[in-house]
């Protein structure tokens, strides 16, 4: 299996339209297996152990057929990076036709955050607003910041306001139901996402198909934790996003718009995944041969990705795949 992956590997670098979590170009590895195309795109700073679920997800996508979809259209949210200025915010929000939910990155500076939220409200007065803090607040700070933010207008939920499950639990008690909390890193970065105790810590669970090890594993996690979920992306190309859409389509229940429209933040993509009236549809797609050529990386970088895959395979992906019994 490893040889098949390495032989069919394409690595491309897609430009981003805006700086997103410090990323101005997104490198992704793609390969095609018997069940379809797969994406392996852990961020460059991740070590082999952290890349294991990403590779397992890619192998699942290449070798297993996705579960039967329960729905075909997935409502998605607009994602606004931590950018400032009304003009810039209006420009980015215009990339998401029909999206009535907006996720705003916040957490580095409260007055800039408040201004960003207020500019979003001025641009889209009827939109639901959710904010993502990426775990950067302390408990007291989160409590105070949320009070100021909510005094200016309601939010749908706050994603990962503090870093740890203990802090989230403490904050949830203080908030006493006034603001819903979604957990992202607390699950995704946990050593054992299946074992992490999220009781009384979060109200909603973010699920990202690649860092959690694929569709089957994500569905198990949703069941195990028993919370409403939001499927979100890790800024993948259309290949990885289409896999996230298949997960969203297979969930027994879906109450929230999903964060799967992040392809709008890329300056180029390998395939078209239309966003119509705020929804994306289940699709099996193939990357365009032109895009694979036009955005390919140098032979040295391709070799570095091959080595990364070998290291990830050895760090646990091989054992996981064996246990699942997936063959290629």
Contact residues toward Mg ion (CB under 5 A) are: 132, 159, 184
Q: Nearest to residue 287, comparing CAs of 4, 2, 91, 8?
A: 8
Cβ-proximal residue to Mg ion, closest one = 184
Q: Alpha carbon 328 to chain centroid distance?
A: 27
Tell the smallest beta-carbon distance from residue 182 to Mg ion (Å).
8
Tell the smallest beta-carbon distance from residue 259 to Mg ion (Å).
8
User: ∠ at Cα 101 (97, 103), nearest 5°?
Assistant: 105
- Using CA atoms, how far apart are residues 311 and 328, in angstroms rounded to an integer? 19
- Using CA atoms, how far apart are residues 315 and 50, in angstroms rounded to an integer? 9
- Using CA atoms, how far apart are residues 142 and 220, in angstroms rounded to an integer? 31
**How are strands ordered across the β-sheet holding 36-40?**
10-20, 23-33, 36-40
Residue 65 or residue 108: which is nearer to Mg ion going by CB? 108
Residue 210 or residue 321: which is nearer to Mg ion going by CB? 210
Tell the smallest beta-carbon distance from residue 131 to Mg ion (Å).
10
- Catalytic residue annotation: 105, 208
Residue 2 or residue 158: which is nearer to Mg ion going by CB? 158
Tell the smallest beta-carbon distance from residue 323 to Mg ion (Å).
29
Residue 119 or residue 184: which is nearer to Mg ion going by CB? 184
Residue 104 or residue 291: which is nearer to Mg ion going by CB? 104
CB atoms within 10 A of CB 145: 21
Tell the smallest beta-carbon distance from residue 185 to Mg ion (Å).
7
**Polymer length in residues for the chain:** 328
- Using CA atoms, how far apart are residues 141 and 287, in angstroms rounded to an integer? 44
């Amino acid at each position: 299996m490893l040889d098949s992956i390495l032989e069919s590997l394409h690595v491309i670098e897609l430009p981003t339209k805006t700086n997103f979590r410090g990323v101005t170009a997104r490198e992704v590895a793609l390969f095609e297996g018997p069940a379809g195309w797969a994406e392996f795109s852990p961020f460059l700073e991740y070590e082999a152990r952290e890349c294991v679920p990403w590779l397992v997800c890619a192998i699942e996508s290449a070798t297993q057929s996705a579960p039967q979809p329960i729905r075909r259209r997935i409502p998605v949210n607009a994602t606004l990076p931590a950018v400032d200025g009304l003009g810039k915010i209006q420009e980015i929000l215009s990339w998401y036709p029909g999206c009535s939910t907006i996720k705003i990155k916040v957490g580095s500076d409260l007055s800039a955050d408040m201004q960003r939220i207020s500019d979003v409200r001025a641009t889209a007065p009827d939109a639901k607003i959710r904010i993502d803090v990426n775990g950067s607040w302390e408990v007291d700070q989160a409590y105070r910041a949320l009070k100021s933010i909510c005094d200016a207008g309601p939010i749908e939920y706050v994603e990962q306001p503090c870093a740890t499950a203990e802090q989230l639990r403490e904050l949830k008690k203080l908030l006493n139901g006034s603001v819903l909390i979604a957990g992202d890193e607390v699950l995704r970065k946990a050593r054992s996402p299946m074992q992490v105790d999220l009781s009384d810590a979060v109200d909603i669970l973010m699920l990202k198909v690649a860092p959690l090890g694929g569709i089957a594993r994500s569905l198990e996690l949703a069941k195990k934790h028993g919370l409403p979920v939001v499927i979100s992306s890790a800024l993948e190309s259309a290949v990885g996003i289409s896999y996230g859409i298949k997960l969203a389509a297979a969930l027994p229940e879906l109450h929230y718009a999903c964060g799967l429209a992040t392809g709008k933040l890329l300056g180029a993509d390998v395939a078209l995944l239309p966003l119509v009236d705020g929804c994306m549809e289940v699709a099996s797609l193939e990357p365009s041969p032109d895009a694979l050529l036009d955005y390919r990386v140098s032979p040295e970088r391709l070799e570095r990705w091959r080595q990364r895959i070998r290291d990830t395979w050895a760090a646990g992906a091989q054992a996981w795949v064996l246990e699942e019994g997936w063959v290629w």
